[in-house]
Structure 1
Amino acid sequence: MKRLIPLAVAVAAANAALAQDDPAMEHVLVSVPLHKQEAETALPVTVLSGEELRRAAASTIGETLENKPGIANASFGPGVGQPVIRGHQGARVTVLQNATSSADASNISADHAVSVEPMLADSIEVLRGPSTLLYGGGAIGGVVNVLDNRIPTTLQDEASGGLEYRHDTASDLDNVVGRFDGSAGNFAFHADMLYRDWSDLEIPGYAMHEEDHDEHDEDHDEHDEHDEEHEEHEGEEQRKGVLENTSGRTKSLTLGGAFHFDSGFVGLAVNRLENEYGIPAGGHGHHDEEEHDEHDEHDEHDEHEGEEHDEHGHGDGITLDVEQTRYDVALHLHELPGMDVVRGFLTYTDYEHSEIEGNGEVGTTYSNETWEGRLEAVHQPMGNFHGVLGLQALSGEFSALGEEAFIPVTDNSEIGVFLVEDYHAGDWLFELGARFDRDERDPDTFAASKETFSSFSASGSALWTIDEAWQLGAALSMAERAPTTEELYSNVEAEDEHDLVVHAATGAIEIGDANLDTETSNNIDLSVDWMGEDHSVTVTAYYNDFEDYIGLLATGEEVDETPVYVYNQQDAEFYGLEVDTQWTLMSAAGGDLRLDLYGDITRAKLDNGDDVPRLPPVRVGSRLMWSAENWELWASVIDAADQDNPGANEEETEGYTRWDLGGEYRFIVGGNEMVTFVSFKNISDEEIRLSTSFLREVAPEAGRSIEAGIRYSF
């Protein structure tokens, strides 16, 4: 990996001399209401769209984005993949569906899937640094906006759509997506559907880390007086090459429409999502199994332990059964006095999931009923100033009910106002913004009282366009974030350790603190961009200084052999570097040969000197692609270093090198495009454990697999 870094720098420097006069066309940022292109802002932005999105799209948003600089994946088995941005995940990363919150339970726990579908997206925009101010100071890590045109923004002259089927051998996955867009008179309409079905994931070796597995076997041999019976039980729990209890099924259907008139449009969309997926058994059964082995001394006791193990469902794993219905309303007006555009969004989301134990009983039911409204008014230029004034409000009730519920029913209300302005002066572009938020948490418990938090965020940036090829950018921001429900109230009702409730899906006790205060982040981003006709280099460095950073930290203590995590507040520092380069090397065999190099590094320390846990490792990746009229072939490699700064009471994670290659062929059928594609993933069958995952010791990523499919578009 170290050899790749100077290679990337050398090639980037050599190609800088080849800059062309005409910069490449840029994606217009929907998430930034000022109709900016990527090259017109100093704010760190990543966009995935078009064919690049089609190739990267996966079952989860984290897996879809994981190969972009500064973005990693926090998997919890194949059914869950949450995005990690610059080392931040959970509450510090806001996932939006067409500019409003996904309104699921993904920020409550790492085992909860994000209820957005990347395979149905038109584009995905990731905002980092000061740009997150548009969507709340709480999104200190970043904002991921998944855009899918479920409320059609334009009237189409002709109907369009498509159908795709793909299969992946790693989990015997079958995935079908379909879409249709059309219009009749002033009405535009949209429909999409998705069906996904998969089995337990195939992995290299055992699910449990080899060292842990060997220690487990030694303890097992030491205490077991009935080897044959326990070997059979162990074989069932730790089948080599399979990650148990990770099968699932997803169904999604969306219908939307919009009425267009001379000065804008108004539209409505309804989505129904049903998602059922298993949690890897090792996440919640490991400690129970150890206890079972240590105390098993004779047949009668073994039988009793086995019955108890089954009664709690830990032997067979936990399945999450998700149901969500979402209603979206959007209004765009273009001809109001003094305004370029006024955009309004209103969303109602009814989310619920049950955690079903191995015996079929429901342990906990989570629900999140949310109303969210957003209003943006983009004023016409006033001299050299152009900007947007906005209002955002959210009201919801979160509940976790059942024997294993550890968070009380809580009413949440949030309201924020923001103003973002840019100022053009010759070759300079300045951007200024401010936001005020007021958040209220009202738990239904005598153990904690209602809390109200006021937070202020501000940002400023400057972009200097040196010439048509070079740009320098700098951005400063200060963002405040109110504590979330789980940070404040997890296990708050426990009077002693015997009352503490284990979060079954994570196999840990998580303890909140009702006295947590607002956390503050002071940030700086510095960027250098070089853009040629067929070449580009972007380098971004950042530094985040946190006051009263809220972290979920392992204490090293256990209650009944269950690890204890606490939400702790102290200062912290984050810093890192991101590099993304693309250039065309040559024309060969009737096509163009392109090489992409990218890499990132994230470091973070707490005030007490400990490393922040669950950070991504240093990564360097490259992709070589040959594109012709009908063919596209590619090969990629990503090298991740050891994560030997895991944080206090956390395990280190070994690095890995992953190789992939693939291709696609495009041809015409009945005047429309058909694409066949195939990818060979993790060719070397590398054992990959993600340092960002809570389950890295018991749930590796997929082994060697083949993904193939066909896509028809009209």
Structure 2
Amino acid sequence: MKPFSKHYLAVAIAAACPFAVASADSIDIDEIVVTASPLLKNTESVNKPVNLLSGDNLKNASAATLGETLNGQLGVSSASFGPGVGLPVIRGQSDNRVKVMHDSVGSMDASAASPDHAVTLEPLLATKIEVLRGPAALRYGSGAIGGVVNVLDNRIPSELPTNFSGGVELRNASVNDETVGVASLNAAAGKIAVHIDGVKRDSNDMEIPGYAEKNPEDINTATKGFVRNTDAQSKSGTVGASYIDGEDFIGISINTLDNNYGVPPDGDELVRIDMHQTRYDLKGEVNNPFNSVQKISAHLGHADYEHTEIEDGEAGTKFTNDAYEGRIELIHSPIELLNHVWNGAVGLQAAQSTFAALGEEAFIPKSDISSSGIFIVEETKHNNWTYELGARADSQKITPVTGPSQGSSIHHESINLSAATTWHFTENQQFSVGIAQSQRAPSLEELLANGPHPATGSYLRGNLNLDEETSTNIELGYHWHHDNFQFSNNIFYNHIKDFIFAENLNEIIDDLNAYAYTQAKVRFKGFETELKIPLARVWNLRLFADQVRATLDDGSDLPRITPMRFGTSLDVEVNQWRANLSATHAAKQNHPGDNEDTTDSYNRLDARVDYTFKHGSTDYTLFLKANNLTNAEIRNASSYLRDIAPEAGRNIQAGVRVNF
């Protein structure tokens, strides 16, 4: 690309995001690059805890929801609301404290507003999923105080495919008679690359080993062997294209999603969610546009989202979100300061949305929400030490368009700071320390909710007097590797002042349990440890354990916290065959929180076998998976519905994957 055109493209990319938002008023670990790190490090170079799923590991883990796909990763679990919803939980935190993103831009749906709202990102279309825990999430703003889940795909190509390529996958599951079809195509003409993909899913009610209710009042009328109203149908499709010149590109994509799923009933009323989203993305990247700049990348997203809660066949509350979000990052060339060479990135992020809940039972007023943030991340090395500093400032404004607070803007400012150091005391060992102080502004529903939400069986009351949450997080980590041996351990302590949560009032309003948002000091503490051992040339053993404990300042327990887990998995690969056997034990949750029931311990056994062969230039993979082989009754401590809807029973899944 000629210098003038490269500079022009850099300016165009840099201008795209802020202008558009304003106008709206088995892969080796060393080879896996962490896109969510601004300096594009591999996993062993990142100072802070990161989970990565890509390649065959991602394909084998992919499930119907994002939470279930990530469930079992270190420090990560799923907050299920029936099989149609699975929201990621990172170290006991979810909802507005875990930012779910598509390629570093928000999902722009309603998943953070309520636990019965599904995420609009499709795991089966992802090429990589990154999970950032602790201080690593700072550069993504106040909505990432608990962590970040970044889902990447190829909908906007960044490289020219050398040949016409694609893939098809078909799978069927026994536990709910689920059928899934996935297809993708990649092609190029000159400097234009095109990507097309789609997925379709259809399932019936989910089977379970016993009664749906934990303690049924009448076993003669109680539902046994399945959970009612848990069938689902969804489809998603994407078209994207890019202009690519060497390492530089600019591209667009359009994605549509339709998702209709049932919510397990607490009583006779049946509630379904009928969800639709159309999303547009513009993304570009320019390398070395100026002497002092190594890279400029920008991403703008716009989503038109809506879902209707259908109660006993009639339309009830309708949620809409007309949202824009843009992000631009600049990686500067190394600079010398204070006798050290610094590498780093600076960035801007802005978002604008109009969010509404409409209908007789709407509990959130229609509101305009705008936010903006600026951040910087810098790194330097000295001898065997790596130092990293980061800072971010955010501003949020919420202006209700309807309701008692109509026209009165609510402003919040937040500051995030982090510092980390890693000591590489031998070639194969490193010790890291990280500390971060982060703030989160209250969300729309936390401030202004007032009314019934039948889908969750709750009556919610917001609180206009809520302050920003302030989190102080301390992280200690140790990592050792030698050939294929790996060991890692992380210990964390997170003290959150003015933690916002919905307190169970032990009252009934309009036949619904009443909750009111309040604040208190909360402490999260825990650990994550993992050991990988090659037993022989074709065998690999993994041992893992994680735990998080969350308590309020008065010593009482925070509800819906994942219990301690530990387990093992054994992988074997012989010629064209690959197999895996894994076992996980989850302890009894004896600290369920006030007015909440305990959950029993359980053991889950899973297995998988794949056979791959080649015919011409086409690769074929036949796979067979078995989840919960012992048909254990699993009640998820992170789920609001654990007492009326356990997790799936024994599930046998078979499929074929074709790549050409």
TM-score of the superposition, structure 1-length normalised? 0.86
Structure 1 stretches of 5 or more lacking a match? 1-22, 219-230, 286-314, 492-500
1:11 match:
none
- Number of residue pairs matched? 626
Residues 24 and 92 from structure 1, CA distance in 2 versus in 1: closer, same or farther, beyond 3 angstroms? closer
1:296 match:
none
CA–CA distance in 2 between the matches of 1:206 and 1:446?
A: 42
The one-letter amino acid paired with 2:348 is L
Select between 331-340 and 370-379 the one with higher mean Cα deviation: 331-340
Give secondary structure in 2 for the equivalent of 1:613. coil
Contact 1:553 1:613 survives alignment (8 Å)? no
1:163-192 deviations in Å (ceiling 9; x for gaps)? 000111001000111111121110111111
2:17 match:
none
2:636 aligned with 1:679, yes or no? no
Residues 247-396 of structure 1: matches in 2 within 5 Å? 247-262=231-246, 264-282=248-266, 285=267, 315-337=268-290, 338-358=292-312, 360-383=313-336, 384-396=341-353
Give secondary structure in 2 for the equivalent of 1:336. strand
1:217 match:
218
CA–CA distance in 2 between the matches of 1:174 and 1:423?
A: 51
The one-letter amino acid paired with 2:475 is D
1:117-147 deviations in Å (ceiling 9; x for gaps)? 1111110001111111111132111100000
The one-letter amino acid paired with 2:539 is L
1:304 match:
none
2:4 match:
none
Give secondary structure in 1 for the equivalent of 2:507. strand
Q: CA deviation at 1:98?
A: 1.1
The one-letter amino acid paired with 1:518 is E
1:57 match:
62
1:498-521 deviations in Å (ceiling 9; x for gaps)? xxx321111111211111111100
The one-letter amino acid paired with 1:352 is E
Q: CA deviation at 1:346?
A: 0.7
Give secondary structure in 2 for the equivalent of 1:413. strand
Q: CA deviation at 1:583?
A: 1.7
1:670 match:
616
CA–CA distance in 2 between the matches of 1:435 and 1:254?
A: 33
Give secondary structure in 2 for the equivalent of 1:51. helix
Select between 556-565 and 113-122 the one with higher mean Cα deviation: 556-565
CA–CA distance in 2 between the matches of 1:75 and 1:262?
A: 43
Contact 1:24 1:532 survives alignment (8 Å)? no
CA–CA distance in 2 between the matches of 1:610 and 1:154?
A: 53
1:96-116 deviations in Å (ceiling 9; x for gaps)? 011100001000000000000
Contact 1:249 1:277 survives alignment (8 Å)? yes
CA–CA distance in 2 between the matches of 1:652 and 1:552?
A: 19
Q: CA deviation at 1:38?
A: 1.0
Of the candidates 617, 623, 627, which is equivalent to residue 569 of structure 2? 623
Contact 1:24 1:534 survives alignment (8 Å)? no
CA–CA distance in 2 between the matches of 1:519 and 1:242?
A: 40
Structure 2 stretches of 5 or more lacking a match? 1-27
Give secondary structure in 2 for the equivalent of 1:64. helix
1:474 match:
433
Q: CA RMSD in A?
A: 1.2
The one-letter amino acid paired with 1:478 is Q
2:156 aligned with 1:151, yes or no? yes
Contact 2:212 2:645 survives alignment (8 Å)? yes
Residues 548-697 of structure 1: matches in 2 within 5 Å? 548-587=498-537, 592-697=538-643
The one-letter amino acid paired with 2:122 is E
Q: CA deviation at 1:447?
A: 2.6
Give secondary structure in 1 for the equivalent of 2:536. strand
1:41-76 deviations in Å (ceiling 9; x for gaps)? 212111011111111010101000011110001001
Contact 2:377 2:388 survives alignment (8 Å)? yes
CA–CA distance in 2 between the matches of 1:93 and 1:432?
A: 22
Residues 143-222 of structure 1: matches in 2 within 5 Å? 143-209=148-214, 211=215, 213=216, 216-217=217-218
In terms of fraction of residues, the more strand-rich structure is 2
CA–CA distance in 2 between the matches of 1:468 and 1:241?
A: 54
Residues 6-21 of structure 1: matches in 2 within 5 Å? none
Give secondary structure in 2 for the equivalent of 1:251. strand
Give secondary structure in 1 for the equivalent of 2:289. coil
Give secondary structure in 2 for the equivalent of 1:164. strand
Select between 157-166 and 255-264 the one with higher mean Cα deviation: 255-264
1:417 match:
374
CA–CA distance in 1 between the matches of 2:614 and 2:242?
A: 31
CA–CA distance in 2 between the matches of 1:563 and 1:316?
A: 15
CA–CA distance in 2 between the matches of 1:571 and 1:115?
A: 32
CA–CA distance in 1 between the matches of 2:295 and 2:82?
A: 43
The one-letter amino acid paired with 2:447 is L
The one-letter amino acid paired with 2:463 is D
Q: CA deviation at 1:446?
A: 4.9
CA–CA distance in 1 between the matches of 2:274 and 2:110?
A: 13
1:569-609 deviations in Å (ceiling 9; x for gaps)? 0111110000122121113xxxx111111110000111222
Contact 1:554 1:650 survives alignment (8 Å)? no
2:96 aligned with 1:124, yes or no? no
The one-letter amino acid paired with 1:268 is I
2:651 aligned with 1:702, yes or no? no
Give secondary structure in 2 for the equivalent of 1:648. coil
Contact 1:627 1:633 survives alignment (8 Å)? yes
Of the candidates 445, 460, 467, which is equivalent to residue 419 of structure 2? 460
Of the candidates 220, 224, 227, which is equivalent to residue 243 of structure 1? 227
The one-letter amino acid paired with 1:247 is D
Contact 1:502 1:510 survives alignment (8 Å)? yes
Residues 4-83 of structure 1: matches in 2 within 5 Å? 25-83=30-88
Q: CA deviation at 1:263?
A: 6.2
Q: CA deviation at 1:660?
A: 1.2
The one-letter amino acid paired with 1:258 is S
CA–CA distance in 2 between the matches of 1:247 and 1:135?
A: 35
CA–CA distance in 1 between the matches of 2:333 and 2:99?
A: 29
1:532 match:
482
CA–CA distance in 2 between the matches of 1:564 and 1:557?
A: 5
1:227-267 deviations in Å (ceiling 9; x for gaps)? xxxx6xx3xxx331010001010110000010012561110
Give secondary structure in 2 for the equivalent of 1:386. strand
Task: Please say which structure displays the higher CA radius of gyration.
Answer: 1
2:8 match:
none
Q: CA deviation at 1:613?
A: 0.7
Contact 1:253 1:273 survives alignment (8 Å)? yes
1:302-338 deviations in Å (ceiling 9; x for gaps)? xxxxxxxxxxxxx351110000000000011112211
In terms of fraction of residues, the more helix-rich structure is 1
CA–CA distance in 2 between the matches of 1:28 and 1:502?
A: 45
Give secondary structure in 2 for the equivalent of 1:344. strand
TM-score of the superposition, structure 2-length normalised? 0.93
1:607-633 deviations in Å (ceiling 9; x for gaps)? 222101100000001101111220011
Identity of aligned residues (%): 41
Runs of 4+ aligned residues of structure 1 deviating over 3 Å after TM superposition are none
The one-letter amino acid paired with 2:47 is A
Contact 1:555 1:649 survives alignment (8 Å)? no
1:352-385 deviations in Å (ceiling 9; x for gaps)? 0000111x21110000110111010000111310
Q: CA deviation at 1:561?
A: 4.3
Contact 1:474 1:527 survives alignment (8 Å)? yes
Residues 102-141 of structure 1: matches in 2 within 5 Å? 102-141=107-146
Give secondary structure in 2 for the equivalent of 1:466. strand
2:447 aligned with 1:442, yes or no? no
CA–CA distance in 1 between the matches of 2:332 and 2:252?
A: 25
